[in-house]
Amino acid sequence: MEAARPRLRVGVVGVGRVGGALGAALARAGHEIVAVSGVSDRSRRRAELLLPGVPVLPPDETVAAADLVLLAVPDDALRGLVAGLADTDGWRTGQLVAHTSGAQGVGVLDPAAARGVLALALHPVMTFTGRPEDLDRLTGAPFGVTSPEELRPVAESLVLEMGGEPVWVPEPARALYHAALSVASNHLVTLVNDATSLLDGVGVAEPARLVAPLLSASLDNVLRLGDAALTGPVVRGDVETVRRHVTTLAADGPQVLPAYLAMARRTAERAHASGRLSDDAFAAVVEVLA
């Protein structure tokens, strides 16, 4: 018979959308959520919904009660929280401490590590709504994992227990890793909203329905084919079409024009580098975009 895995006493500092979902996932895996901390009424309601019966305590008391501390606070608050708890002897040797920030590695936990804490960075590559269905979305979700090499098996095991798939991210790559994810997710949302807003502004009915098949096909193509998925007037070198786009957006969508120019230029650069756009066509497109 397989030996039972150790059951950890878990404290969640920051029971927002991410903290609530990961706390619930750890509870589902058999760990005991002993305390959570949250400031806002919304956080407290989320704790009641996702982690019923778990006491809501101040951060220092949550940390003191736990073997594994999950820090799910905003990026800009993380360093100050870790250092503040270190200054007040809030950490103890042998505690596991994992934060969920994508932009930070384990270096941000140095004040805790200096007091014997075992530092982990576990970033779920997923969006959260703060509702119970977030727990199901963790199944198969990738997590960006960073830790000291000797703690890598521990970090990856925790991710697997939550239902996720660990992806190793070296400490020096952490900032670029997070920037890339922001381009992929946040900027995509902005681009799609700009496209549907332009269509809505000129009276095209159901713009989301119009662009949905195009978006789905484009995403599928680029994930399979890379730069071979590039299409459209820039890649074809249709300079006059690009010129009309620029003129039209300058008149009717000036708020979108800077983004169009930047993305069209980057599209031309990728098409040129991959051999899809000749030197002469690249130069002509860039001249129009300038």
Long-range contacts at 147-152 (CB < 8 A, ≥ 24 apart): 147/106, 147/119, 147/120, 147/121, 148/106, 148/119, 151/118, 151/119, 151/120
Given this model, what pLDDT does residue 2 score? 45
- Confidence (pLDDT) at 39: 80
> In this structure, are strands 68-71 and 32-37 parallel, antiparallel, or unpaired?
unpaired
Which pLDDT value is given to residue 4? Answer: 53
Q: What does the mean pLDDT of the chain come to?
A: 94
Which tokens go with 258? Answer: 């800077």
Where do the domains of the chain lie?
9-169, 176-289
Counting every residue written for the chain, the total comes to 290
DSSP state of 124: E
To 10 degrees, what angle do helices 17-28 and 41-50 make? Answer: 20
State how far the Cα of 279 lies from the Cα of 170, in Å rounded to an integer: 37
Q: Are 157 and 215 in contact (CB under 8 A)?
A: no
What architecture is domain 9-169? Answer: 3-Layer(aba) Sandwich (3.40)
What is 176-289's CATH number?
1.10.1040
Helix pair 17-28, 152-161: axis angle to 10 deg:
90
Helix spans in 108-238 (H) = 110-113, 133-137, 152-161, 174-182, 188-201, 207-225, 233-236
For 179-200, write each residue's pLDDT tens digit. 999 999 999 999 999 999 999 9
- Ranges of the chain whose pLDDT falls below 70: 1-6
Does the model's pTM come out above 0.75? yes
- One-letter identity of residue 214: L
